[in-house]
Amino acid sequence: MTINSVEEKILAAARYKLNLDEKVIQAGMFNQSSTSKQRKEFLEAILDSDNLNEGEENEAPDDDTLNQMISRSEEEYDFYQKMDESAPKSNRLITIEELPAWIKKSFEESNFISLDEGVETSITNISLNRVIGDDSRKRSYSAADHNSSDFSRNPIDSSLNSTVPSIFGSMKRKKRGRPALPERLALDSLLKSIQQTLDYIKAFETECDHRKISYVFYRLPTKKQLPYYYTIISHPIDIYSMERKISNSKYKEWQDFVNDFDLMISNALTYNPEGSQISNDAKEMALIFKKYCEQNDIDC
């Protein structure tokens, strides 16, 4: 299969005319006989289609995409990639090694609540005032129905014994904060492993012509370039989308990445005919991924 061929341009123009005719017909519905519900549904469909197209067209390209756009061959693409890799890079965010020691402590150590420095006294006073206020209200409400002998006991002492511990207990139960450091380290390790897997697949070359089979899988054509593809494939995905998920920490488990990779291979086999170069490259990439997982004792 080829990209940006004359047949695809003709097909895209024909579909554009059909869509235009459909819009003209739908626009004719805005007359006196059309209902407000029909107008609302038509306007919502226009807004939804605009929102879908804005995501891809207004997206800023990264270094790999720019290299693909300006390179005229795979040799130039590799040369530009090496230039980007050799350029000095600075981390945009602070690294874990640069964090101060008090942040690296666990949540329980850094957020321990002590009862020193008058905290116990202040909480006891607050509880005492609440109990006294509640008791005075109880007495005023029940004075007309009970004798004075019913209040011979001191209700404040018994109330304090039950109220003050419950306050301390609720404070300990309601402690909240950011996830512990081991969880963040585990997530960083997972994202790093996924990126290493993609780098291994991207760097793989064929033995006969030293061609990178992942080149056409890195970035899918847009809906304007290949509209017919998006009518067949309902869930398109490419390597660029997976790397975006890594940057945004979208992958929480290894199986999520495996599902996306299998979906990319399945889409390529669905759209491209059996025996084509892209179909064969998709099968080869699946074997490479499986071999990489076996070498590193990873379930795939």
pLDDT, tens digit, for every residue of 94-117?
777 777 777 766 544 544 444 444
Q: By CB neighbour count within 10 A (0-12 exposed, 13-18 middle, 19+ buried), where does 74 fall?
A: middle
For 62, 70, 72, 83, 292, the CA distances from 79, given in Å and listed in that order, are: 16, 12, 11, 6, 26
- Give CA torsion, residues 267, 270, 273, 279, to 10 deg: 40
Closest CA to 290 of 204, 170, 162, 165: 204
Which domain covers residue 220, as residue numbers? 184-296
> Which residues lie below 8 Å from residue 102, measured CB to CB, with a gap of 6+?
110
Q: What is the pTM of this model?
A: 0.43
Contact between residue 216 and residue 239 where contact means Cβ atoms under 8 Å apart: no
Q: Is residue 8 part of a domain?
A: no
Residue 213's CB: how many other CB atoms inside 10 A?
20
**SS3 of 279, please?**
helix
Q: Is residue 217 part of a domain?
A: yes
Sign of the Cα torsion 103, 106, 107, 109 reads negative
Mean pLDDT of 254-268: 94
> Which residues lie below 8 Å from residue 265, measured CB to CB, with a gap of 6+?
282, 283, 285, 286
Tens digits of per-residue pLDDT, 193-239?
A: 999 999 999 998 888 888 898 898 999 998 888 889 999 999 999 99
pLDDT confidence tier of residue 284, bands split at 50, 70 and 90: very high
Residue 15's CB: how many other CB atoms inside 10 A?
13
Q: Is residue 249 part of a domain?
A: yes
CATH number, domain of 286, equals: 1.20.920.10
Q: Is residue 22 part of a domain?
A: no
Q: Is residue 271 part of a domain?
A: yes
**SS3 of 252, please?**
coil
Contact between residue 222 and residue 159 where contact means Cβ atoms under 8 Å apart: no
State the residue for tokens 């081991």.
182
Q: Is residue 151 part of a domain?
A: no
Tens digits of per-residue pLDDT, 120-145?
A: 444 455 555 554 555 555 555 554 45
**SS3 of 224, please?**
coil
Number of domains in the chain: 1
Q: Is residue 266 part of a domain?
A: yes
Q: Is residue 275 part of a domain?
A: yes
